[in-house]
């Protein structure tokens, strides 16, 4: 069986959050015309509460490099030249860069480390922003289509996968693949950390198996500490999604206002400023929430504007945590939530 069939048989999906089928992405790049092609390993993990790629780089740098080499070999045919990059955030470069460089050197592989600029921020890790950054342009997302599989780095077809995906590719290639995923468990819990478990585990099972099930009332943010969806403790029978992080919040410790500030504050800092809805919207949202009596109607209008008109996933995802918290926790009739803003939000009857 060739490597593409093996990846397809393993049903491997991208582990960075979008969960796009890896075999389909690789096939699209293989089929696209180009005298040069590129493979980029996205090691820029930067969403709050997501640490799993760092854990993999620390423990298995050789596997990550092997996975990239598998992709490079897959694309090499009929004289096509293929080059690889590891696009790595400065913290990981400092901690794991020399291990990766050693593994690259041992294999004499055509792979370069590219350290994400300090000032690039979170959005610099978005796949089309990575292309702009490596090409020396402003670190902001590109309009798609064309997708990187067709016109990626320097306009050539490009595979972009994250660290965990390449780790699994290496395991598939050597015949040791297990259907597992890496979960970052954190927040108000006793045993925070990164755990490797079967991919079909439910959220509830992962929290329990890792001995993190709290004795207090809690809710969970699933898939990332800024853009992840909020579920209450009775809604945890699904498998996790996105970047596979599970952040626990002690219900009594957080008011709606504190949570909204916490989430919006991240987006405000990380907005690249390219489009008006996100650049102005995050600023106005933060401003709205930071007065004694917020204009809640304006607040929810702004959220709708962001989700309907933002240019990229960062702006589009600003409302996710806020709206799911309101729906699944704050206004859930079965949960006893005391919050000064609850009635005001409830009376607005806004769409979720
Ligand atoms: S949505 Fe935000 S991060 Fe994305 S392009 Fe617009 S300003 Fe930049």
- The three-point CA angle 171-32-125 to 5° equals 60
CB 188 within 8 A of CB 250: yes
Report the separation in Å between the CA atom of 18 and the middle of ligand 1, taken as the mean of its atom positions: 17
Alpha-carbon torsion 198, 17, 54, 325, what sign? negative
Q: How far does the centroid of ligand 1 lie from the alpha carbon of residue 204, in Å?
A: 33
- Residues having CB closer than 6 A to ligand 1 are 123, 140-141, 271-275, 278-279, 310-312, 314-315
CA–CA separation, 115 vs 12, rounded Å? 27
Is-same-fold flag (3-174; 180-253)? Answer: no
The answer as to CATH 3.10.20.600 being correct for domain 180-253 is: yes
- Can you give the pLDDT at residue 78? 76
Domain locations along the chain: 3-174, 180-253, 256-348
State the pLDDT at residue 352.
Answer: 67
Question: d(Cα 180, Cα 171) in Å, to the nearest integer?
Answer: 11
- The two most distant CA atoms of the chain are separated, in Å, by 67
Separation of alpha carbons 237 and 202, rounded Å: 5
- Reading the chain (352 residues) residue by residue, the pLDDT tens digits are 899 999 999 999 998 878 899 999 999 999 999 999 999 999 999 888 999 999 999 999 999 999 999 999 999 987 899 999 999 999 999 999 999 999 999 999 999 999 999 888 889 999 999 999 999 999 999 999 999 999 999 999 999 999 999 999 999 999 999 999 999 999 999 999 999 999 999 999 999 999 999 999 999 999 999 999 999 999 999 999 878 999 999 999 999 999 999 999 999 999 999 999 999 999 999 999 999 999 999 999 999 999 999 999 999 999 999 999 999 999 998 898 989 999 889 888 766 6
Q: How far is the CA of 300 from the centre of ligand 1 (A)?
A: 19
- CATH fold, domain 256-348, is de novo design (two linked rop proteins) (1.20.1440)
CATH of domain 3-174: 3.40.50.11540
Tokens 């004289």, residue located: 79
State the DSSP code for 159: E
User: For the chain, percent helix, then strand, then coil, each to nearest 5?
Assistant: 45, 15, 35
Of all atoms in ligand 1, which is nearest to the CA of residue 279? Answer: 7
Model's pTM, two decimal places?
A: 0.94
- Closest residue by CA, ligand 1 atom 6: 275
- Looking at residue 333, its pLDDT comes to 86
Query: What is the whole-number distance in angstroms between the Cα of residue 210 and the centre of ligand 1?
Result: 36
Q: Which atom of ligand 1 is nearest to the CA of 123?
A: 3
37: closest CA among 95, 103, 81, 97?
81
Rounded Cα gap, residues 319 and 115, in angstroms: 31
């Amino acid at each position: 069986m060739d490597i593409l069939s093996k990846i397809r048989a393993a049903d491997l999906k991208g582990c960075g959050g979008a969960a796009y089928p890896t075999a389909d992405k690789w096939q699209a790049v293989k089929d696209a015309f180009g005298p040069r092609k590129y493979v980029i390993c996205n090691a820029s993990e930067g969403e709050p509460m997501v640490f799993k790629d760092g854990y993999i780089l620390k423990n298995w740098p050789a596997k990550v490099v092997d996975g990239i080499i598998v992709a490079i070999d897959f694309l090499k045919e009929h004289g096509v030249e293929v080059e690889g990059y590891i696009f790595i955030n400065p913290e990981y470069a400092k901690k794991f860069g020399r291990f990766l460089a050693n593994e690259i050197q041992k294999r004499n592989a055509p792979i370069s480390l590219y350290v994400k600029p300090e000032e690039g921020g979170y959005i610099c890790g978005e796949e089309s922003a990575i292309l702009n950054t490596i090409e020396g342009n402003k670190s902001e997302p590109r309009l798609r289509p064309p997708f990187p599989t067709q016109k990626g780095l320097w306009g050539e077809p490009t595979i972009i996968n994250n660290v965990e995906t390449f780790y699994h590719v290496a395991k598939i290639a050597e015949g040791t693949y297990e259907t597992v995923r890496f979960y970052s468990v954190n927040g108000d819990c006793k045993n925070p950390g990164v755990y490797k478990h079967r991919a079909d585990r439910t959220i509830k099972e992962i929290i329990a198996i890792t001995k993190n099930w709290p004795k207090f009332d809690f809710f969970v943010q699933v898939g990332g500490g800024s853009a992840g969806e909020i579920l209450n403790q009775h809604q945890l029978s699904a498998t996790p999604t996105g970047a596979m992080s599970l952040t626990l919040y002690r219900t009594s410790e957080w008011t709606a206002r504190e949570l909204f500030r916490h989430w919006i504050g991240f987006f405000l800092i990380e907005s690249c400023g390219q489009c008006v809805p996100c650049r102005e919207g995050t600023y106005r949202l933060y401003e709205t929430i930071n007065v004694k009596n917020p204009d809640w109607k304006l607040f929810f209008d702004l959220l709708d504007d962001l989700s309907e008109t933002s240019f990229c996933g960062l702006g589009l995802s600003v409302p996710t945590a806020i709206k799911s918290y309101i729906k699944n926790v704050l206004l859930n009739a079965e949960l006893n939530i005391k919050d000064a803003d609850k009635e005001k939000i409830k009376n607005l009857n806004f769409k979720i």
